Amino acid sequence: MNERVNLKIKDLEIFVINVLKKCGLNEEDAKITCDVLLLADKRGIESHGVARLKRYVNGIKQGTIKINNNIKIIKETPVSLVIDGEGGMGQLIAYKTMKQCIEKAKKNLICFATIRNSNHYGIAGYYTLMALKEDMIGISLTNSAPLVVPTFAKDAVIGTNPISIGIPANKEKPFLLDMATSTVPRGKLEVHARLREPISKLWATDENGIETNDASKVLTNLIDRRGGGLSPLGGSSELTGGHKGYGLGALVDIFSGVFSSGAVGTDVYVKKGEPSGVCHFLGVINPEAFSGIDVIKKNMDYYIKMLKDSEKCSSQNRIYVAGEKEFESEKRNVDKLNIQDKVFSTLNLIGKEFNLELKIT
């Protein structure tokens, strides 16, 4: 039921790039998009990896994702950009915008970009990592399809709206937060529904807005728009701090959609077959704005070590910092990827369509 196959990353890379080229992307754009997808798999975030290729291919075919991928600058100041993605590939819009933010932050210390009319951009952390590679502080936020129920509401109004912020370190791996503002992403409910396992009451609410253990019901309700959905970080109640997760999710909508005059809340993915309207917010801060890169890296090593060296609770022997598990996963997956059989089958179907082959090692 949950079998997996091994693939050479090189093979998978060639395959994905060729699929995207057959869809009409040029060589460079296909390579960027492929890199975003594969990095998710390498970092163990399978829900955002090649498992999504089919969605992107379908989007391009249906015209909800355009392949004219030049970012249109609506407004530019020394420290900011307002971008219209014009319905292009989210990965390319975000990548190209982040490149500009990095250049501007090198010169002017800070650059923030708010982006409207884009599409799903993969893992938020990809763009934060771009900043980290340049010894910069990176910020990446995006709104998404309404799946999360605000505190005291019945219906899903806001997305799982992730927040990613990354800070460079020296000997330690960078601190890289990349978290949905819901307690869990939809994928977790899908896994539990498949295994018929009850979910935590903090994860979701039913069609009356009441906590539930039943993952299948929540997923069906979401598809049929009957009410209920994922709970914000902290759950559905104020008692457990759910209003805070709701506040953070709304904040992501504001930075992405309100600041860019794009889509927010239920206006994102409002109608099947139409452009999604997804909005992002990207930012780069040059450490020279503060104590400077060398000092900040040294301070980060000290702080990360303080966290990791502190005493463990009785059931654990290790304390992690944000991004650490993903960096270790990336290090393990240098040559090969172990992907779900189900995902491999989907890739093969895409391959057949485009007359491309993908081998198991």
Q: Which stretch binds a second copy (CB under 8 A): 11-19, 107-115, 327-335, 340-348?
A: 107-115
Is 256 near a second copy (CB under 8 A)? Answer: no
Q: How many CB atoms lie within 10 A of CB 295?
A: 11
Nearest C-alpha neighbor of 121 from the set 74, 184, 55: 55
Whether 243 contacts 151, CB under 8 Å: yes
Is 174 near a second copy (CB under 8 A)? Answer: no
Q: Which of 119, 140, 260, 276 binds a second copy (CB under 8 A)?
A: 260
Q: Which of 44, 303, 336, 354 binds a second copy (CB under 8 A)?
A: 303
What does the angle CA 193 – CA 199 – CA 203 come to, to the nearest 5 degrees?
110
Whether 41 contacts 49, CB under 8 Å: yes
Is 250 near a second copy (CB under 8 A)? Answer: yes
Distance, in Å, from the CA atom of 265 to the CA atom of 158, rounded to the nearest integer, reads 5
- Hey, which residues does 179 pair with through a beta bridge? 163
Residues in 44-73 that interact with a second copy by CB under 8 A: none
Is 217 near a second copy (CB under 8 A)? Answer: no
Quick note: the x/- pattern for a second copy over 108-127, rule CB under 8 A, is xxx-x-x-------------
Residues in 307-326 that interact with a second copy by CB under 8 A: 307, 310-316, 318-322
Q: Which of 54, 227, 336, 346 binds a second copy (CB under 8 A)?
A: 227
Distance, in Å, from the CA atom of 293 to the CA atom of 289, rounded to the nearest integer, reads 9
Is 224 near a second copy (CB under 8 A)? Answer: no
- Hey, which residues does 46 pair with through a beta bridge? none
Is 202 near a second copy (CB under 8 A)? Answer: yes
Distance, in Å, from the CA atom of 208 to the CA atom of 285, rounded to the nearest integer, reads 43
For the bound state, the minimum distance from the C-beta of residue 77 to a second copy, rounded and expressed in Å, comes to 6
Using a 10 angstrom Cβ sphere, with 0-12 exposed, 13-18 middle and 19 or more buried, the burial of residue 256 is buried
Q: Which stretch binds a second copy (CB under 8 A): 7-15, 23-31, 47-55, 201-209?
A: 201-209
Is 216 near a second copy (CB under 8 A)? Answer: no
Q: Which of 5, 9, 67, 179 binds a second copy (CB under 8 A)?
A: 179
What lies within 8 Å, CB to CB, of 249 at 6+ separation is: 148, 150, 158, 159, 160, 161, 181, 182, 232
Q: Which stretch binds a second copy (CB under 8 A): 8-16, 32-40, 43-51, 153-161?
A: 153-161
Is 193 near a second copy (CB under 8 A)? Answer: no
Between 90 and 262, name the residue whose CB sits nearer to a second copy: 262
Q: Which of 5, 67, 193, 251 binds a second copy (CB under 8 A)?
A: 251
| Amino acid (one-letter) located at 123 | I
Between 5 and 258, name the residue whose CB sits nearer to a second copy: 258
Distance, in Å, from the CA atom of 214 to the CA atom of 256, rounded to the nearest integer, reads 32
Is 247 near a second copy (CB under 8 A)? Answer: yes
Residues in 279-298 that interact with a second copy by CB under 8 A: 285, 287-291, 295-296
Between 1 and 306, name the residue whose CB sits nearer to a second copy: 306
Is 77 near a second copy (CB under 8 A)? Answer: yes
Distance, in Å, from the CA atom of 46 to the CA atom of 160, rounded to the nearest integer, reads 16
CA 121 to chain centre: 7
Is 234 near a second copy (CB under 8 A)? Answer: yes
Nearest C-alpha neighbor of 127 from the set 107, 152, 101, 104: 101
Which uninterrupted H or E stretch holds 340?
strand 336-340
For the bound state, the minimum distance from the C-beta of residue 210 to a second copy, rounded and expressed in Å, comes to 7
